[in-house]
Amino acid sequence: MIHIMSPVLSTRSPGTQFTAQGLGDRVHLLTVAWCISKASQLSVTLHLHGKQSIERKKKSFVEILELFPKGHLFLAFHHLEPLDDIEFENYLTNLGIDINRIFYGDYPGWNEKSIGIDVSPYLCPIPLLKLEKHDHDRKYITSQWDTTGEKRRFGQQEVKEIISRYRSQGYDVIAVGGEAQEDKYKKSLFEIAKLMSGADLHIGVDSGFSHFAQLVLPASKIHIYSKPGNFWSHHLFRGLDNGMCLNVNFKKISKFSLFLVKLRYDSPKLLRIVHKIRLSSKQTPGRVK
């Protein structure tokens, strides 16, 4: 059995706690545990702190867990609301748990500490779940564009034009999530999983169901959309590395623009390095003439 703890602090926003607020956060945490379990051939328990264990989130975690094969993953909910990762780690260690922190070595966050298990190699690629598929008499794709992240959104007209291009290729386009027409594709992860498993493609922004799609579709069948000025996450960069297709039916992003996007992602880290070098040079005694 391998025990991993969910991060307490955000790796991108100083002083902000990571509370697994969104569906994508919860799907991703269980995806990490799934990838480690498959690679190690051991079961994995994911430990969640108090702010990730409120009733709404607990119910969501359990619903997601039910999609995975039995015996691979387990959840442990704790009431403690730690202030940082060290406090949560000490709490779990004092319970006699041989706990592991996790970090992302490929696209580290600005405030990320390289302590514990580097999970990025386990996520490249993500082992797919074998789920029951939705029965549909025409070829179809799933689609999600609604997101709570304002800087990930596309305008209504832009989305309409993108979807029309897929329809012109003979696809039925079925929305999942908040904009779904059928209630079951808004509320039931089991029904959404069946639907997405049988889809030719999944299209949309870097949001909850793009995480979900990576568990049921090869990365090459996920068409992700973003703009140079949008928010880019490590999930998006890693997805592209795994083979996701970027802006298939939208304005293409040049290699240079993508380079600048990655530079912007890393810029706080680069700025810290520059400041350290400057500080070090000021503290170094001058050469005696």
What does the domain layout of the chain look like in residue ranges?
2-123, 140-246, 255-281
The model's confidence at residue 274, banded by pLDDT at 50, 70 and 90, is low
The model's pLDDT over 111-145, given as tens digits with 9 standing for 90+, comes to 888 999 999 999 999 999 988 777 777 899 999 99
For residue 107, give both structure tokens: 């696209």
> How confident is the model over 36-88, as pLDDT tens digits?
999 999 999 999 999 999 999 999 999 999 999 999 999 999 999 999 999 99
Q: Where are the alpha helices (DSSP H) in the chain?
A: 23-40, 55-65, 85-94, 156-168, 184-187, 189-197, 208-216, 234-242, 255-283
What CATH class does 140-246 carry?
A: alpha beta
172 secondary structure, DSSP code: E
The predicted model scores a pTM of 0.89
